[in-house]
Amino acid sequence: MLVAGLGIAWVGAVMLAPLDATRRHWKLVALGVLALHLLALAVLMGLVLTRGPLETVVGGWPTGVGIRLRADALGTLFAVVSSTVLLLGLAHETAQGTATRTTPALILFMAAGLTGLFLTADIFSFYVFFELSMIAAYALTATGGSTRELGAAFVFAVVNLLGSFLFLIGIGALYHVTGTLDMATVAERITAVEPNSAILAAACLFVAFAVKLGLFPFHFWLPSVYTASRPAVAAVLAGALSNIGAYGLLRFGAGVLPAQLELAGVALAVLGTASIIYGALQALSRRSTSEVLAYSAIGQVGYIIVALAVGGTVGLYAAVLYAVINALNKALLFLSAGLRGWLVGAAFAVGAFSVAGVPPAAGFLGKVGLFQSGIAEGNALLVALIVLGGALSFVYMFQIYQHDHWRPSEEPPRPPHGRWQRAPALLAAAAILLLGLWPEPLLGASEAAAGALRSPS
Amino acid sequence: MPRLSHAAVPALGATALAVASFVALLAIHLGGGGAVDLPWAPTLDLRLSFAVDGLGALYGMLATGIGAVVFAYAAGYLPSHLAHQGRPAREAWRFHGAMVLFMAAMVGLVTARDLLLIFLFWDLTAVASYLLIAFDRHERESRVAALMALLVTGITAIALLIAALVLHARYGSFQLPEVLSALQPGPATTLAGALVAVAGLAKCAQAPLHFWLPRAMTAPTPVSAYLHSAAMVAAGVFLLGRFHPLLQASGPLLDVLLGIGLLSIAVGGVLALTRDNFKQLLAYSTISQYGYVVAMLGLGSARAALAASFYVIAHAIAKCALFLTAGAVTQAGGGKRLSDSGGMARAAPALAVGSGLAAAGLTGLPLTIGFFADELFFAAALQRGPGMALAAVGAAALTLAYIARFWGAIFLGPRPAGAGRASPALTVPVVVLGGLVAVGGVWVQPFAELAREAGTATFGAPDAFKPAYHLDLRAENLMALGTYALGGLIVATRVLWAPVAAGVARLGDAIGPQRIYEVSLRGLNSLSDAVHDFEVRDLRARVRPILVLAAVLVALGILATPSTATFTVGTIGTTDLPLALALAVVIGAALACTVPREHLTLVLVLSTLGFSLAVSYAFFGAPDVALVAVLVETTITLLFFGIFSLVPERVLRREARARESRRRQRINAGIGVGAGAFAFLVVWAALSTPTPEQVVAAEHVRLTPQAHGQDVVTVILADFRGLDTLVEITVVFVAVVGIATLLRRGRLA
Amino acid sequence: MTLLFALSVGVLFGSGAYLILKADLLRITVGIVLVSNAANLTLMSSALTRGQAPTYPLAPGVQVSDPLVQAMTLTALVIGFAVTALLVSVAFRVRTSSGSVDIDELSRREQETERELEREDVSV
């Protein structure tokens, strides 16, 4: 099952890459492959949640010698969510007819890369998969063709490459101090390492992931890329790719380097707070939906960081839950950003309510988790911060919602969208409502994921 | 008949649903209540638990009963409203959909037992009201009003959520009855109580968070009628009633409630006296009259709880009738303002009677349900003391004055030109409600019983006071008489106080909370614009903070981990000399890369660097790496040359000649040095750490023969870590795909 | 040697960072190559043993170089090469699409688009 989860998208991508995916049947094949991939991951997650983590060492070598793949609740949850977003994004591209020849293959490659990095327990293979999904993302952002998109793609690539190489330096440092690449062994041996060396390697990793996440003040690349890209690409970047950052911080921070994470708690809290306030403040009076969403994304990741800084079972649970819900929110909002019509308006409103934390949209679960971690800590400042961020998100989400969907438009009405063009956005909205009304699976998985971090292997 | 289906089907469906829900609630209540309890989200300790108690029955029956009347009214109102605005009749579906959602949310709210479930329905009422207030969304005023209502009620709802979570953290349960029975005074309890109060007061539009309510009058009349009588605003006082034990346990919170209630009575009443627009007047009257309820809840006695419950019933029926009257008059061409209305009594006698009864009910005249409402109100005030009793009389007199003004200005006096007859479809609901007010004035028993049970559920103990007519000079009767006299006096002396009241209104407009809201919203947007101007948009500035912050973090890391003798210089043995030399060349070449201005020179220096790196890899004892490095370096150099041949000379030359300012160069150099120092420190710290005892590479070397290989590196790549290599190949493949796509589209036409 | 390794990495990284802060897309790309080399050199120098090339037959008692970092560096080298190539072609496409290889120029355009937007009314 583990290999199936990893292999389906990979093989599919390689097969599809040379084919002309602007043809209808190849598009459908790509969708089918991705759906199959998602199904495999969902089954895998089911297995992991009921029977505990699955693991295998590739090639049958002893742990450490070969690469250990390990599917635990955290990894499979992120893999399922990212793949869901990718599937929605690909469906949107297909329905809109904006896909280029290679878009489906690139999205499948990204799915393979993401799944790989969520399922590996080896720090170097994490890097390799990470680069696979990143290079697919670079190619994806650059295929748009307009000067603005290309310029944004260049900036995106440069900044993220810088992050990647920092990550690689961190990996080198970790290898040197622990003599292994296996996450569990690194986590074991790092406790005996000079704190100075360990914290510096951790700082490298943190900067790399913060860049991916678009945390303030590492975010400066993000707004221009999200606004210049097509809605589906922006959805994929915000809903799937940025999960690398959240997952990486959780896995490396809480899973591998917990002592360093604790040490960095204050710095994390400061950066997270700055991100929440800065993102929300910027988002307030932006005139285009994609810009509001881009800055909102910066603000929202701040919550994840703050929850991570709180730490403990409650904090990690809140961070996982919030990351998952945020990914879905962003996918929904970006996918419905370019469309009009009352159904899409309703879908966007669901997303807006979700961001603001209004039930029954799933976003309120994330807010509940955050508040619980703040209250458990007895941290009034944190609670006040979440309230402030939530209040600002009300203002910016609904200003832009009313601006886009309620104002009588002066432009002549656009040609009506086909039935299928709205389907991905509506599906995402339905999923968010469903998760809000029947939250147990998501909550259970998040709790298991947080538990997986607390007791690595 | 498509027109009929769009106009009538949703309205009839909604009405039928409301009637059925009302009957069901009544049956459950008469049957002694009922409860449902199902697991919902065990991880979060949530249960889907509902029960119908006295309080729930009262508010639930109001929401469904008044709902049925309003929905029926809307069946007649909405088609002409939509036709008037040139909108398609199918929008009735959206309207009734949101109305039913509102009703369902109310019923859910009043029967929910789980704290988070209460929050869920609480927010659902905010969502539904948002959609309804903005029903005429093509008008800017409606959009502004909807946003205001959403922001005020939505943001304050967060307080309720926090209160729920604080209570859960303190008492370990989300089940309201369990929590309320375990209450202990203390900071957590007080905090939760205050938070609940904030949420409730904002929802029932109490000063100073009252301003959203008059603005919400931009909604179609049935929405206003429903919002103000049985749904939105009622939810606010319901919440205060539901959590009353918590408020009781929260120190001086009840006194605060009392103060806010009295303030709202005064503010709402005085402003209602100055309003000219029908619906505006009624909106301020709602603020004032819910102020009664809040004040009574603040009194914190069994009698006051009973009085509050009874008042809610009486007020809902009568106020709804008045709102519906306003809509009927306006649709009949009778104007929207008191100043251009009048004489409708002759044009619409039935309407005049129906709304006259309702108005009498609100003012507390005998033979209406309102008399008993005031009787209870006075009784509860008397319990507190003479000061409170005086305030009660003043409040009731104020009510009498503005309601009399409302009814009189519409139905008496000369009739304006163009006023027609009121539509029967709009008149019947008013008459029904007016009749109900009168019935309650004669047969008070069922209402009083319902109120008693609700009051008991609110306060926790029953009160024996029985509302009835007594022909004697007891205090309540005297207070009623005083109210009529004082009310009449206010009406008669309008000339004297009108300028004062208008002044108060103007003052409120200038510095009131609505103004604060508007200023802060505008301020936030301007602040956002200002911050946005600082947001950098070139790559330099995008990269700079990353490098700077990375360096800062490393510095902080070093400061945070004081450790001894981490850094070692290491020794250079004779065997290391070639490597050291190669690295020296690398350092030189890297520094040299920053100098050249011509692109060609730059790439030549870069390839020098690459080859010297390859040489050093060779001296590392890594021939494979060296070989690949040479290959890669050659290809990159060729790639750059290829690009240079494709890009026109002049572009490159212009770029090469572009000079940067000294200052900028210095900044860049500084950041470069900082970034270098950061990387240097990270690597140095890591390399200084003594080699761990168990090294996986040794295993690799040992196991290589088992993998049938000679070269350990090759075996690692092909076997031990074959997966990495597979992915690596895929990365190259994706790069090729990406480049092919880019260049194919990039061909210059 | 430890100090020298760290110094080389530091200089490579610093020079790369300096170049990335330039306005010229090609120079930025060169900067990325430098940073990538810094990472590769880090991997190489994080070798836990240095000595002969790790190829069988091994002479007993002779120390061999850490083969794992070599494998990692090889992988990283190739990946770095792939992304560099992609980056160069993006830079090239920017040039064919905009007629410029200057990042400042692109930023100016982006800012103009933004300013165009900001003129719109912000009200709901």
Q: Does A371 fall in a domain? A: yes
Q: Residue B551 has what pLDDT?
A: 78
SS3 B338: coil
φ, ψ of residue A402 to 5 degrees: the values are: -65, -40
Q: Which of A1-15, A56-70, B421-435 has the highest mean pLDDT?
A: B421-435
What is the rounded CA–CA span in Å between residue B447 and residue B449? Answer: 5
My answer on whether omega of the bond before C57 falls inside 30° of 0, hence cis, is yes
Residue bearing the bigger pLDDT, B669 or A1: B669
Q: Which tens digits make up the pLDDT trace of B306-318?
A: 999 999 999 999 9
Condensed to tens digits (0 to 9), the pLDDT of residues C32-85 reads 999 999 999 999 988 888 777 788 777 777 778 888 889 999 999 999 999 999
- Reported confidence tier of residue C119, pLDDT bands at 50, 70, 90: low
pLDDT in tens, A62-102: 887 888 999 999 999 999 999 999 999 999 888 877 667 78
Token duo for residue B550: 């990375």
Among the ranges given (A402-406, B565-569, B615-619), the one the predictor scored with the smallest mean pLDDT: B565-569
Is there a contact between A383 and A375 (Cβ–Cβ < 8 Å)? yes
Question: Is the previous residue joined to A360 through a cis bond, with omega within 30 degrees of 0?
Answer: yes
Least Cα distance to A234 among A160, A161, A291 occurs for A291
**Which pLDDT score is estimated for B749?**
31
Name which residue leads in pLDDT, A116 or B559.
Answer: A116
Residue B747, pLDDT > 60, answer no
Percent of chain B's residues with pLDDT above 70: 97
Q: Where are the beta strands (DSSP E) in A52-134?
A: 54-57, 68-71
- pLDDT band with cut points at 50, 70 and 90 for residue B564: low
**B554: chain C residues, CB-CB within 8 Å:** none
Say yes or no to pLDDT of A358 above 80. yes
**Domains, chain C:** 2-53+64-118 (1.10.287.3510)
Alpha-carbon distances, residue B742 vs A151, B125, B730 (angstroms): 13, 52, 18
Q: Which of A69, A149, A395 to mutate to test the interface with B (most CBs of B within 10 A)?
A: A395
**Gyration radius (Cα) of chain B, Å:** 38
Q: A69 in helix, strand or coil?
A: strand
Of B176, B283, B167, give the one whose Cα is nearest residue B232: B283
Structure tokens at A239: 């809903």
For A317-345, write each residue's pLDDT tens digit: 999 999 999 999 999 999 988 788 888 88
pLDDT digits (tens, 9 = 90+) for B289-302: 999 999 999 999 99
**Which residues does chain A have within 8 Å of residue B737's beta carbon, measured at their own beta carbons?**
17, 102, 105-106, 139
Please, are residues B440 and B314 in contact by the beta-carbon 8 Å criterion?
Answer: yes
Rg (CA), chain C: 22
Q: Is the pLDDT of residue B1 over 50?
A: no
Over residues B199-210, the mean pLDDT reads: 92
Chain C residues touching chain A at CB-CB below 8 Å: 9, 13, 20, 25, 28, 32, 35-36, 38-40, 42-43, 45-48, 68-69, 72, 75-76, 79-80, 82-83, 86-87, 90-91, 93-94, 97-98, 103, 106, 109-110, 113, 117-118, 120, 122-124
Tell me the mean pLDDT in the region B662-682.
Answer: 87
Length in residues, chain A: 457
- Alpha-carbon distance values, A73 to A56, A68, A366, B192, B498 (Å): 15, 16, 18, 35, 70
pLDDT, tens digit (0-9, with 9 covering 90-100), for B429-440: 999 999 999 999
Q: How many helices and strands (H and E) does chain B possess?
A: 32, 2
Give the residue ranges of DSSP H helices in A179-311.
183-190, 195-213, 222-228, 231-236, 243-248, 258-263, 265-284, 289-310
CB atoms under 10 Å from CB of A42, counted, come to 16
Compare CB distances from C87 to A157, A172, A173 and report the shortest one's residue. A157
Question: What are the C-alpha distances in Å from C91 to residues A155, A244, B742, B745?
Answer: 10, 26, 10, 14
User: What token pair was written down for B589?
Assistant: 């070449």
Distance CA B466, CA B520 (A): 49
Beta bridge partners of A70: A55
Q: Is the pLDDT of residue A6 over 50?
A: yes
Tell me phi and psi for residue B350, to 5 degrees: -65, -45
pLDDT number for residue B2: 43
Write down the mean pLDDT value for chain B. 88
Q: What's the distance, CA A388 to chain centroid?
A: 24
Closest residue to A150, CB basis, from C13, C40, C94: C94
Closest by Cα among A72, A80, A70 to A50? A72
How many whole angstroms separate alpha carbon B92 and alpha carbon C117?
36
Question: What proportion of chain B, given as a percentage, has pLDDT over 90?
Answer: 54
Which of the four pLDDT bands, split at 50, 70 and 90, describes residue B661? confident
Find all residues with CB under 8 Å of B421, minimum gap 6, and list them.
B332, B347, B348
A457 — pLDDT class (breaks 50, 70, 90): very low
d(CA A430, CA C106): 39
SS3 B685: helix
In this structure, is residue A136 part of a structural domain?
yes
Domain of residue A93 covers 2-407+419-454
What CA–CA distance (Å, rounded) separates A374 from A413? Answer: 47
Contacts of B44 in chain A (CB under 8 A): 365, 368, 439, 443
How many whole angstroms separate alpha carbon A35 and alpha carbon A47? 18
Is the ipTM, as predicted for this complex, more than 0.95? no
* Per-residue model confidence as pLDDT tens digits over A153-169: 888 998 899 899 999 99
- Compare all CA atoms of chain B with the CA of C24 and give the residue at the minimum distance: B655
Q: In degrees rounded to 5, what are phi and psi of residue B464? A: -90, -5
The number of domains in chain A is 1
Contacts of B218 in chain A (CB under 8 A): none
- Give the tokens for residue B370: 């309102």
pLDDT surpassing 60 at residue B391: yes
Do the chains contact at B123 and A359, CB–CB below 8 Å?
Answer: yes
Whole-angstrom CA distances from A152 to A221, A409, C23, C79 are 8, 29, 15, 22
Question: Among candidates B583, B645, B638, B643, which has minimal Cα distance to B607?
Answer: B638
- Which pLDDT belongs to residue B309? 95
In terms of DSSP H, where are the helices of C1-124?
Answer: 2-20, 25-45, 67-98, 103-118
Q: What is the mean pLDDT of residues B558-586?
A: 77
Residue A214's closest CA among A124, A138, A294?
A: A294
3-state class (DSSP) for residue A56: strand
- What's the rounded mean pLDDT across residues A29-33? 89
What's the gap between Cα A101 and its chain centre? 25
Residues A329, A243: contact at Cβ < 8 Å? no
Residue A412 lies in a domain: no
- Within 122-181 of B, beta carbons closer than 8 Å to A belong to 123-124, 126-127, 134, 137-138, 143, 146-147, 150-151, 154-155, 157-158, 161-162, 165-166, 169
Beta carbons within 8 Å of A115's beta carbon, 6+ residues apart: A5, A6, A9, A37, A41, A79, A82, A83
Which letter, b or e, does each residue of A284-313 get, where b requires 16 or more Cβ atoms within 10 Å of its Cβ?
bbbbbbbbbbbbbbbbbbbbbbbbbbbbbe
Kindly report the backbone phi and psi dihedral angles of residue A384, in degrees, each rounded to the nearest multiple of 5, phi listed first. Answer: -60, -40
Which of the residue ranges A194-198, B69-73, B666-670 has the most confident prediction, judged by mean pLDDT?
Answer: B69-73
Contacts of B670 in chain C (CB under 8 A): none
Tell me the CA distances in angstroms from B639 to A455, C81, C93, one per residue in order: 48, 11, 14
Contacting residues of A for B116, CB less than 8 Å apart: 368
Q: What is the DSSP letter of B418?
A: T
> If pLDDT is split at 50, 70 and 90, which confidence band does B28 have?
very high
CA distance A21 to A98: 11
Rounded to a whole number of angstroms, the distance between the first and last alpha carbons of chain B is: 59
What is the C-alpha to C-alpha distance for residues B308 and B304, in angstroms, rounded to an integer?
A: 6
pLDDT (0 to 100) of residue B566? 64
- Chain B adjacent subunits, 3+ CB pairs under 8 A: A, C
And the tokens for B282?
């009624």
Query: Does the pLDDT value for residue B4 go beyond 60?
Result: no
Q: Establish if A413 belongs to a structural domain.
A: no
Q: What is the DSSP string of B487-530?
A: HHHHHHTHHHHHHHHHHHHHHHHHHSHHHHHHHHHHHHHHHHHH
> Of the given ranges (A63-77, A170-184, C89-103), which has the lowest mean pLDDT?
C89-103
Which helix H or strand E contains B36, and what residues bound it? strand B35-41
* Residue B138 neighbours by CB under 8 Å, 6+ apart: A406, A408, B85
Which among C46, C91, C109 has CB closest to A147? C109
| C-beta of residue A345 within 8 angstroms of C-beta of residue B134 | no
Cα of A317 to nearest chain B Cα, Å: 11
Could you please report the per-residue DSSP string of B370-396?
HHHHHHHHHHHHHHH-HHHHHHHHHHH
Cα separation, B652 vs C77, whole angstroms: 28
Q: How far apart are CA A369 and CA A376, in angstroms?
A: 10
Determine the Cα–Cα distance for residues B401 and B131; give it in Å rounded to an integer. Answer: 34
Q: Using CB atoms within 10 Å of the CB of residue B299, give its burial: 0 to 12 exposed, 13 to 18 middle, 19+ buried.
A: buried
